[in-house]
Amino acid sequence: MLWGSIDPPPSSLPPPLCVGTRCIIIQLSHCDHVPYALHNFLASYTHVGVWNSQDATKLERCRHQLKIGKLLDIRRFVEGSRGSLRGCSFEEIVEECMGYRGVRLDPEVSTSDWSVYDLCEDQILQASIDVYVCFKLGVRARLWEV
């Protein structure tokens, strides 16, 4: 499959991985080989993100042909004081569910060049916040049981 400018291959593993307070960003565009252990991990566990409906397809079509076992969008599962937060922004979900104001995903950072060898601090921070929040909310909602 050739990737057009509209749908480029993933530069990094979407989403980054998080367990506890440890996050890892795997830059697929710089990997000659992806270990079997990572293939197995991705295929065996539930992965939670936000606005991630395209992630599984992109990973399967990339040169590493990665498969995700179960991919869930946290927006479908979180609830706040006014009910479902399905249509809410990342910032609203964080405030409602975790009590932190102003935590948002910057669209400029999201659409920046993730294929660079050294990610900038804003990219690293945003990726870490995104995956950490989704991990914590996924654990709180016990999404591995879904």
pLDDT in tens, 41-69: 889 988 898 888 888 888 888 888 899 88
- Which domains, ranges and CATH numbers included, belong to the chain? 17-145 (3.30.420.10)
As beta bridge partners, residue 79 has: 84
pLDDT, residue 100, reads 96
Who's near 43: CB < 8 A, 6+ residues apart?
Answer: 67, 68, 69
> Between residues 3 and 117, which one has the greater pLDDT?
117
